[in-house]
Structure 1
Amino acid sequence: MTEQPPPSKRQKREDYRKAHNSQGSAELPKKKFYRQRAHANPFSDHQLTYPASPDLMDWASYYPAYISPQAAPEEPHGHDETRTKSLSKHVTVADIGCGFGGLLVALAPKLPDELLVGMEIRTQVTEFVQDRIKALRNQNADSGLYQNIACLRANTMKFLPNFFKRGQLSKIFLCFPDPHFKARKHKARIVSLTLNSEYAFAMKPGGIVYTITDVEDLHKWMVKHFEDHPSFRRVGEEQEAEDECVKTMMVETEEGKKVERNKGEKFVACFRRLEDPPWP
């Protein structure tokens, strides 16, 4: 009898995830079955699915516990295929480049009245966070914890306005983004004057953008580009130090824990969305 070769790493990953999902497991997923390259090119075509407008985004499939009991309003005749179930509240917190979801999971019980979404471009990392959230919901079925967080695959550099209406978000987190060290790669950084305008559009006045990195050059870049933007002003150090979200961001992200283990330095800066000036 011919001896079967051992399964490849890819086959092991697929078998593990298939078994994990089919069982509706409350066991947390294992990262080793979801490994992927650390970075993805934001300018590449990643065959992403995204809504044509925020009104067409199907948030109900991500937050089933918050589906509005009221029926969705009737769409014009001939457009029933675009109808989506509505939620009882809007998503107001976005973790852009959420990685393996450490911050999302930590913030879920601290912001119980908010809906939080993690947005991640890497396929397998997104699947890990989604499976992690499913397991946590199963573990906490009686308390209802972790129903207020979700993760979706998205390229926010291209499609952020497709997901959020004007003034919808109260918090945006940019935690340990890819530094893109080479000057010719700076255009791929997640902070720029152009992208900051998109964050300003999606944020309500008084909302806060939270940034953290272990790369001082990138920290200075983000500070400069937010301070140069007329819609943002940096939050004072005293207020920053008292912010519970800052404290959580410092210790709960996977990258933050890695920096801690390596005894590295973390650079934090927060920026408040200003009121738009009145039209003349």
Structure 2
Amino acid sequence: MSTPPTWGPLRSFGRIKSRTLKPRQAALMETLLPQIAVPDPAAGPIDPRALMPDAKAVWFEVGFGGGEHMAEQAARHPDVLIVGCEPFQNGVGSALRHVEERELTNVRLHMGDARDVLAAFPDASLERVFVLFPDPWPKARHHKRRVIQQETLTELARVLKPGGRFRFVTDWKDYAAWTLERALKEPAFRWPAEKADHWKVAPADHVTTRYQEKLLGDTQPIYLEFERV
């Protein structure tokens, strides 16, 4: 494994808690989360294969929100381990409810910064990475807080296997342009899009969440998918 990057003190996310957790979610934080939590990345390297030894692939979701996309993908692909990271406590509580209700055994969670877990993964250990509707930090002075930075893309390229895919979706034009510009500078990524349908039309396996339906950005969703060469 290469030397882990230094992220610095800047967080790529805002608040980590809003309303008080519902009793059921609070209970799941105490009972279910410890059972499916990713090992503390500060303790050393994490082998995702060890989290589900019989998994045929490992997928990674950065900032899973309420967990709808993660849970649906896990239900569709029970033989795939999906590791999800989310710093927002209420989102983790929601995801735990999805995991319990759908009896998902192939989900592992980290309540915190996804970049810490990413840095603890071995080279070429993931088949897919999802970054869906991340905080856009639209003001120019806040762009340094965006989760997509050049060093993040370099880390994603490191942990993805050749042929692996990185999907980024946003409903902010500037963030799409920002990500595309930086991804094209990363020599390990190839953008296979050839026509507008490739970024304007949702991929066949995309899961539309309630957050996406709110249309909070300044454009219809833009779907960018890159291949690890």
Aligned to 1:89: 55
1:40-86 per-position Cα deviation (integer Å, ceiling 9, x unaligned) = xxxxxxxx94341114x7964xxxxx5xxxxxxxxxxxxxxxxxxxx
TM-score (norm. length: structure 1): 0.62
On the 8 A contact 1:174/1:210 being kept in 2, the answer is: yes
Distance 1:252 1:59, change over 3 A: farther
Q: Secondary structure at the match of 1:269?
A: strand
Unaligned runs of 5+ in 2: 1-18, 33-38
Query: Hey, what's the Cα distance between the residues in 2 that align with 1:59 and 1:135?
Result: 25
Q: Does 1:156 align with 2:114?
A: yes
Count how many residue pairs are aligned between Structure 1 and Structure 2. Answer: 203
Judged with a 3 Å threshold, the aligned counterparts in structure 2 of structure 1 residues 209 and 23 are, in CA distance, closer, same or farther, namely closer
Q: Aligned pair 1:202/2:159, yes or no? A: yes
Supply the AA of the counterpart residue of 2:144: K
Shift of the alpha carbon at 1:157? Answer: 3.0
Q: Is 1:254 matched with 2:210? A: yes
Q: Which residue of 2 aligns with 1:52?
A: 44
Cα-to-partner distance string for 1:112-163 (whole Å, 9 max, x where unaligned): 33111211111221122123201210xxxxxxxx32223321312344121x
Q: Which residue of 1 aligns with 2:221?
A: 266
SS at match of 1:116: strand
Q: Answer yes or no: is the 8 Å Cα contact 1:101–1:253 preserved in 2.
A: no
- Cα deviation code 1:187-223 (max 9, x no counterpart): 1111121111110111001101001110001000001
The match for 1:123 among 66, 80, 89 is 89
Note the C-alpha offset of 1:181. Answer: 1.2
3-state SS, counterpart of residue 124 of structure 1 = helix
Structure 2 residue matching 1:180: 3-state secondary structure: coil
Q: How many angstroms apart in 1 are the aligned matches of 2:79 and 2:124?
A: 18
Partner of 1:183: 140
Q: Distance in 1 between matches of 2:139 and 2:98?
A: 34
Distance 2:213 2:84 in 1: 18
4+ long deviations beyond 4 Å: 18-24, 57-60
In 1: Cα distance, 2:55 partner to 2:123 partner:
15
Structure with the bigger RCO (C-alpha within 8 Å, sep 6+) is 2
Cα drift, residue 18 of structure 1: 5.0
How far 1:174 moved relative to its partner? 0.7
Instruction: Mark the CA change 1:210 to 1:21 in structure 2 (over 3 Å): closer, same or farther.
Output: closer
Determine if contact 1:100/1:254 at 8 Å carries over to the other structure. no
Measured on the aligned residues, the alpha-carbon RMSD in Å equals 3.3
Q: Tell me the percent identity.
A: 23
Q: Structure 1: where are the runs of 5+ without partners?
A: 1-8, 25-47, 61-65, 67-86, 138-145, 275-280
CA contact (8 A) 1:235 1:269 kept: no
Q: Does the 8 Å CA contact 2:49/2:55 hold for their aligned counterparts?
A: no
**CA radius of gyration, larger in:** 1
